[in-house]
Amino acid sequence: MKDVKDIIEKSILTTVGIGLLAFEKVDALIKEMVDKGKIMPEEGKQFLEDFTKQVDQEKEELKSKIDDTVHSALFPF
């Protein structure tokens, strides 16, 4: 049972790490586009807010799926 918990825990940490990396990449891309005049600062800010909301929503959905899977694995009947 500890092995399953460790795998799930590592998966969650990996997912969080990927999310943070993606956020940093998107943030850098937006700043670069603003600096080059390709988008207005307000557009960049709005895009980043929308991206953050989407990531948060998907994170919650993933957490729910993981909770359901763990519950099913621990209590199959």
* Distance, CA of 18 to CA of 41 (rounded, Å): 26
Give me the residue spans of the domains in the chain.
Answer: 2-74
Q: What is the pTM of this model?
A: 0.65
Tell me the DSSP string of 7-53: HHHHHHHHHHHHHHHHHHHHHHHHHHHHHTTSS-HHHHHHHHHHHHH
Separation between Cα atoms, residue 23 and residue 44, nearest integer Å = 13
Average pLDDT score over the chain? 84
pLDDT tens, position by position, 2-29: 677 777 778 777 877 887 788 889 899 9
